[in-house]
Amino acid sequence: MIVIEGTDGVGRTTQIERLRNWLEVQGHGVVETGWTRSDLMSSLIALAKEGNTLTRDTFSLLYATDFADRLENQIIPSLRSGFIVLSDRYIYTAFARHAVRSGSPEWIRDVFGFAIIPDIVLYLRTDVESLVPRVIASRGMDYWESGMDMHLGEDLYDSFIVYQRRLVAEYEVMAKEFKFEMIETTQHSLEAIEQDLRARIEPIVRRTRKIDASLLDTASLNLKVER
């Protein structure tokens, strides 16, 4: 299981598409999953976010339900069948978003305590100054990714800057705690980032190991809070 983490607009989806093509050319079966892609929850989450009235804990619980559904129906069955799972975000996104909204780290980690341990977490690292033009040039800034529910600024742009800086700071803390593989994206081309990702992933996918399917039912992250 390979996880690509990073804040909004950093280029995760683009790199996952490139990695999937590369892995499939090598003969690997690949299944892709990502935040809010649960058949059960994706449309409900989109509908709930339209009103811009979600509370912090409801926001987190909706995403936890999405994750639980994907874990049971996509991730674990794929791993049992011998596929490589590429995950666009993982539970660390929920940890970061909950933390910047002043939520309890113990609570959010308990909520996601059923998660299985990825083989590798690749963190696409950036700074807000580099992030802003990417987001503006792509899909633009939205209410939740700008932290407008937290009243951090006078307008969408100001709130985005403050919110994303807080998110990046949380990722930096988690990168050390959970031993993320750091991938620098600032002033690097898509091709250079892809080559860096490949170099770190190749030893993982090449190693031969016997997977005990029973472990996939019981494995969970060590989410002990040490702050």
**SS3 (DSSP) at 182:** strand
Q: Would you state the pLDDT for residue 82? A: 94
Name which of 202, 200, 209 is nearest 180 in CA terms. 200
Task: Give me the pLDDT at residue 220, please.
Answer: 52
pLDDT tens digits along 95-138: 999 999 999 999 999 999 999 999 999 999 999 988 888 888 78
Say yes or no to pLDDT of 170 above 80.
yes
Cβ-based neighbour number of residue 172 at 10 Å: 14
For residue 139, is pLDDT > 50?
yes
Domain 2-209 falls in which CATH fold? Rossmann fold (3.40.50)
Of 16, 111, 12, whose CA–CA distance to 67 is shortest? 111
How large is the average pLDDT for residues 162-177?
94
What is the rounded CA–CA span in Å between residue 163 and residue 152? 7
Q: Which residues pair with 84 in a beta bridge?
A: 30
Alpha carbons 179 and 213: distance in angstroms, whole number? 25
CB atoms within 10 A of CB 80: 12
| 12, pLDDT greater than 80 | yes
Q: Give the other-Cβ count within 10 Å of 134's Cβ.
A: 15
